[in-house]
A and B are shown apart, each in its own frame.
Chain A
Amino acid sequence: EAGVVQSPRYKIIEKKQPVAFWCNPISGHNTLYWYLQNLGQGPELLIRYENEEAVDDSQLPKDRFSAERLKGVDSTLKIQPAELGDSAVYLCASSLASANEQFFGPGTRLTVL
């Protein structure tokens, strides 16, 4: 069974440029999460989807971050424009709707120069 797939694995951009990350969750997992992980810290939730509905986006900086999960399967997280402080690892995870164990992808390491 394929795990959570994320792309790209690494991205280097200059500040003020846009960037997008893609995530394909485990088949059948209705819940999808995007996390931000800064160096030396634990993951922090950005947004959680139940199917195509964003049920918790309270920690998403909406002035520059956006996300979508149009068909309730794969998802895209976008930053526009990127700032130096956005350099981090962006993790995607998925879980069954009624379960609590989350399965994580390998992450996208973003470097903003």
Chain B
Amino acid sequence: AQSVTQLDSQVPVFEEAPVELRCNYSSSVSVYLFWYVQYPNQGLQLLLKYLSGSTLVKGINGFEAEFNKSQTSFHLRKPSVHISDTAEYFCAVGGGGGFKTIFGAGTRLFVKA
């Protein structure tokens, strides 16, 4: 079975500061890993994904994540956040074929001026 744990439910940070949103997963098979962002009253939008290859993945809006197989982690980072980054961020794990995608509970990023 697959599972995802987002270690922080809320992360407050000042504008232009760096941020890291933590995600750990468990799976008995090879996984695909995703980060999605959800703005208020909107659906989820893909930020980035890891399927294979380089463990450092770059996404949209200046975000990046690093896949660490030994620590079963896929933390999301941004070196300098903006007010507009305030949103809910979801880590997800899935697999090819028939495996379903499992979402974490989400981390609310709140960027303060």
Contact = CB atoms under 8 A, between A and B. Distances in A.
Interface string B1-26: 00010000100000000000000000
Contacts of A107: 41-43
Interface residues of A, number: 21
A104 B94 contact: no
Contacts of A41: 105-106
B49 A101 contact: yes
Nearest to B6: A42
B51 interface: yes
Interface string B75-107: 000000000000000101010101011011110
B44 A91 contact: yes
Interface of B: 4, 9, 32, 34, 36, 41-46, 49, 51, 90, 92, 94, 96, 98, 100-101, 103-106
Interface of A: 4, 40-45, 48, 55-56, 91, 93, 100-107, 109
